[in-house]
Structure 1
Amino acid sequence: MEGRQKVYLGCGIAAFAVVVGALALNSDDAEGAANEARRAADLPVPRQVNLASDMPADLASPIAAPGLDAARPTDCLIEPSQVVKVNSGVEGVIQAIYVDRGDVVRRGQVVAQLRSDVDRAGAAAAQAKANNSYSVRAAETRAAYLEAVRRRSEQIGQYLAADKVEEAQSNARAAREERQALAEDQRVAQLEYVQSQRILAEKTVRSPVSGIVTERVMSPGEYRGPDASHIVTVAQVDPLFVEVFAPISELDAVHVGDPVKIIPEAPVGGEYTAKIKVIDRVFDAASGTFGMRLELPNPDYSLPAGLRCSIELASTKTGDGRKM
């Protein structure tokens, strides 16, 4: 019985505190009194919520541009100028792959080889057929002889039967057409040989750019079919592209071709000079920024890609991208 009285008393005090708080919503003293009443009744005191501090950081901050922090509009991102998924233009079984992840490759370097035994045999047959000129020469000789017979028959036609002259003329025409057909067959054989050489060239996979191998998808012995997207991935890191999202207020201060100081994040550090290549004409209203693309020379591959960095707009041109 005594416990129920305590419960009733606590509920009454809590109700009284809520009424007092509702009557004096904007009064700090009333709120303090309500909290004291809750403590007296052993009820939890509501925690003060600060929307600015309690909200998650990704929601409290402005909408960030892709890959960067909109709260730090001078941030930038160093990326490869190209990322190429190297593949073969024909299907086949991979015989060998000559590079692996992390290797440096040059443009035109062989990175993989598909089996080509059957194609080499077909190319040899096509070459032999294309170089076979005996049938063409024999047809030319026969056509020349029958043409001479035709002319001679027409000259002495008055002494020959009409059907003999017509036969000579018909044989000469047939010989000319046979010679043309054999010449055309030889030309087709030459084209087939060129086609077989192109197929053989496709079996040899070369890198279209100079850069660094970042991924090796397939291995020797696997079949490169129509569903295979690529064999290796090569990232071109000379030059590098620097993606920047700058405040819209800086739009009038930058122009294509201007030098910009690039400061990579630790532990790389240092200062480099890049040039503005592209200024976006479509802005990001949510973050109040606009995008720029800078070109940063990297001939010795000393600067890695995938780094965050910061920028400083330079007032004068300071060189060709070497460390300042």
Structure 2
Amino acid sequence: MALGGGALALVAIVGVSIGGNGSPDDARASETGDSILADATTIDASLANSGPSDIAPPGLDAARPTDCLIEPSQVVRVNSGVEGVIQSIFVERGDVVGRGQVIAQLRADVDRAGSAAAQARASNVHGVRAAASRAAYLDSVRRRSEEISEYLAADAVEEARANAQAAAEERQAAAEDQRVARLEYVQTQRILAEKTVRSPIAGIVTERAMSPGEYRGPDASHIVTVAQVDPLNVEVFAPIAQLGGFAVGDEVTVYPEDPVGGEYIARVSVIDRVYDAASGTFGMRLELANPGYALPAGLRCTINFDEPATKRPRQ
């Protein structure tokens, strides 16, 4: 309507100009004005006949292919729980690693020596046996003293009781020391285990951040990075027109970009509950099985919502 109004205003100006004089130039201007008026009338009629649904707002075109991105399901920065100098790293970038596989080793000579000492203290039973024998002897002295207390001085009987009580406490202290030594041994064993760095997931090494000989201190964020690529995550921003058309568990066809190409079936695992009003989209995450790591991560892809998705049984 704004375009039609502008055209009519222009025609009015031309008409006023023609009315002012009757020269041939004015006649040609009149013909031009008539042509503009006809074009404006055609545009107004076209706009009047078009409905609101003919122009889809951004994000509401459900028929258009939707872009997506294939990503690793997990990216883990593997590190050690203790500080130390890196002795060996057994993997390189691009290597395939399994869950629990040893990927790095920190120097642990001092820790192994401390563990051996703790083990020796924990296994030493002589102190406990000596304390138990002494406690048993002094307890027997106390009993004999009490039996013949009428023939002994009161101080002698009290001394026998005190010695027996002290010996019993020493026996308990020796047993407690051995228990603490065993706990220290367990602690040193766990420290040694932390010096051996294992991969928490199965995947592909994407980065080796440190090298043998470097010190892994409190500021070191990680030693290597491992990406899990089976399964893969497919991050999708779907048009709001598809809202309610999918549920967790539904299957969707994914088309990776060239030169990989092909068709892959992924399953809906997450549907966001917070939408993007500016783009008219909502987020979905699909889980794509990738046995043998045949499909690389980091690919762009598309999902065509024209094709019917395989629905899971509704409950």
In structure 1, the residue matched to 2:225 is 233
Q: What is the total number of aligned residue pairs between the two structures?
A: 257
2-structure distance, mates of 1:302, 1:146: 77
1:76 aligns with 2:68: yes
Q: Any unmatched runs of 5+ in structure 1?
A: 1-22, 34-61, 65-70, 319-324
Q: 2:78 aligns with which of 72, 86, 89?
A: 86
1:190-249 deviation per Cα after TM superposition (whole angstroms, max 9, x unaligned): 111111111111111111111000000100001111111101000001111000001000
In structure 2, the residue matched to 1:190 is 182
Quick check: 2:69–2:301 contact (8 Å CA) kept in 1? yes
1:98 aligns with 2:90: yes
Quick check: 2:142–2:161 contact (8 Å CA) kept in 1? yes
Please state how far the C-alpha of 1:140 moved relative to its aligned partner: 0.6
SS in 2 for 1:266: coil
In structure 2, the residue matched to 1:180 is 172
With the length of structure 2 as denominator, give the TM-score of the two structures. 0.77
Q: Which amino acid aligns with 1:220?
A: P
Q: Which amino acid aligns with 1:288?
A: G
1-structure distance, mates of 2:65, 2:110: 59
1:120 aligns with 2:112: yes
Q: 1:297 aligns with which of 270, 274, 289?
A: 289
Quick check: 1:74–1:245 contact (8 Å CA) kept in 2? yes
Q: Any unmatched runs of 5+ in structure 2?
A: 1-12, 15-24, 30-56
1:281 aligns with 2:273: yes
1:315 aligns with 2:309: yes
1-structure distance, mates of 2:140, 2:295: 79
1:1-324 to 2 correspondences below 5 Å: 74-312=66-304, 314-316=308-310
Quick check: 1:99–1:111 contact (8 Å CA) kept in 2? yes
Q: Segments of 4+ in structure 1 off by > 4 A?
A: none
Quick check: 1:218–1:231 contact (8 Å CA) kept in 2? yes
Please state how far the C-alpha of 1:252 moved relative to its aligned partner: 1.5
With the length of structure 1 as denominator, give the TM-score of the two structures. 0.75
CA RMSD of aligned residues (A): 2.3
Report 1 or 2 for greater relative contact order, CA contacts < 8 Å, sequence distance ≥ 6.
Answer: 2
1:63-104 deviation per Cα after TM superposition (whole angstroms, max 9, x unaligned): 99xxxxxx9661111000010000111111100000010000
